[in-house]
Amino acid sequence: MRTNDPVLVSAVVSLLEAAQIPHWVLDQNMSVLEGSIGILPRRVLVPDDHLEAARTLLREAGLGNELWRDVT
């Protein structure tokens, strides 16, 4: 997923950690370069072998609309 919302990133990370799904949050330090105005989105990535579990978890949490549609 990709979002400018730090609260959403925090919620997703919490869900993934609780489910023991490995993940990475990318671009969270880019705010230093952009001046902390929140233009650059943060990305939350999971390994391919955990993708379906993560997508199911986020859908069940009501966050399915935040997921990337194309996962190929």
For 2-59, the pLDDT digits (tens) are 888 889 999 999 999 999 999 999 987 765 565 556 677 889 999 999 999 999 999 9
Identify the pLDDT of residue 58. Answer: 95
Domain ranges of the chain: 2-66
Rounded Cα gap, residues 3 and 11, in angstroms: 12
Rounded Cα gap, residues 21 and 45, in angstroms: 10
Say if pTM beats, i.e. exceeds, 0.85.
no
Is it the case that residue 72 has pLDDT exceeding 60?
A: no
Is it the case that residue 71 has pLDDT exceeding 90?
A: no
Is it the case that residue 69 has pLDDT exceeding 90?
A: no
Give Cβ neighbours of residue 33 (< 8 Å, ≥ 6 apart): 40
CATH code linked to domain 2-66: 3.30.70.790
